[in-house]
Amino acid sequence: MNVDLNEITMNLVPFPRMHYLTTCLAPLYLSKDLHLPPRRLDEMFTDAFSGQNALIGADPRHHVFTASGLIARGKIDITDMRRNVVRMTSSLNFVNWNKEGWKVGLCDVPPGGQPFSLLGLHNTTAVSESFVQLRNRFVKLYKRKGIF
């Protein structure tokens, strides 16, 4: 709770030019869905690495990870966090020089309406899809003289 974004990303950005983090949030509910039953921690870990819960519109599991940071809120035991990190490490594609590129933060205060939540900050190549889409839209506008 006493940490700013610069300190969180310090371990997630190994090189200055690799500073684009993607975010995944679990549970990702709309306000009308708050009556749904809470998710188990194992399900939330899977959700924190899925394309459906990614806030960038790309599936991070299909890309290469440089580092991953997880911030958990609620009554979560550190052994459950470690077990899930080990489980997810085997299914994710990390760069060969940073296989242990994990940063974990715990906060005992649960989110409103849920027993716990999980935020994933991933330094992954999934952001390249968004840049390619942005460039393609710019080229289309430029060809139509939409940009001066």
- Predicted confidence band of residue 2 (pLDDT cuts 50, 70, 90): low
CATH number attached to the domain at 5-143 = 3.30.1330.20
Pairing of strands 102-107, 64-74: parallel
| Distance from C-alpha of 115 to C-alpha of 113, rounded to nearest angstrom | 7
Residue type at position 133: Q
Residue type at position 130: S
Q: What is the pLDDT of residue 136?
A: 93
> Per-residue pLDDT averaged across 42-47, rounded?
84
- Predicted confidence band of residue 106 (pLDDT cuts 50, 70, 90): confident
Higher pLDDT, 16 or 78: 78
The sign of the torsion formed by the CA atoms of 12, 15, 16, 17 equals: negative
- Predicted confidence band of residue 135 (pLDDT cuts 50, 70, 90): very high
Backbone dihedral angles phi then psi of residue 53, each to the nearest 5 degrees: -105, 5
> Per-residue pLDDT averaged across 84-98, rounded?
85
- Whether the per-residue pLDDT at 148 is higher than 60: the answer is no
Domain ranges of the chain: 5-143
> For the chain, what percent of residues have pLDDT higher than 70?
86
Higher pLDDT, 29 or 103: 103
Residue 46, CB-side half-sphere exposure with 13 Å CA sphere: 5
> Per-residue pLDDT averaged across 44-62, rounded?
80
- Whether the per-residue pLDDT at 32 is higher than 60: the answer is no
- Whether the per-residue pLDDT at 52 is higher than 70: the answer is yes
Backbone dihedral angles phi then psi of residue 136, each to the nearest 5 degrees: -65, -40
